[in-house]
Amino acid sequence: MIEQMFLESRIEIKDLVVSGIHGSTEREPHDKQRFRVSMKIDVDAGQAALTDSIKHAFDYKIAASIAKDVIGRESHVLLEKIVARIITRIC
């Protein structure tokens, strides 16, 4: 019986649209803008494949929710900062 297994898998979230207030120009910090986000997340799906249990699966809805929260509730000057905040919270 196999007890452990490494199975690399990629989760993709494409074209998630979220409104937020970000930017560096005079107008950007005052007006909501639409941001389109796509993510590729590499995960180990081995345990989920072995157990066939949702509790061992990566929940892509949490990743999408984190992106929505960072973009919709925080305010940053640079896109790089937004990306770093999303990555930090997912990982």
Contact 60, 11 (CB under 8 A): yes
Nearby residues of 26 by Cβ (< 8 Å), 6 or more positions away: none
Task: Tell whether the model's pLDDT for residue 4 goes beyond 70.
Answer: yes
pTM of the model: 0.86
Closest Cα partner for 45 from 64, 63, 61, 59? 59
pLDDT in tens, 35-55: 999 999 999 999 999 999 999
Taking the CB of residue 38, how many other CB atoms lie within 10 A of it?
10
Taking the CB of residue 58, how many other CB atoms lie within 10 A of it?
16
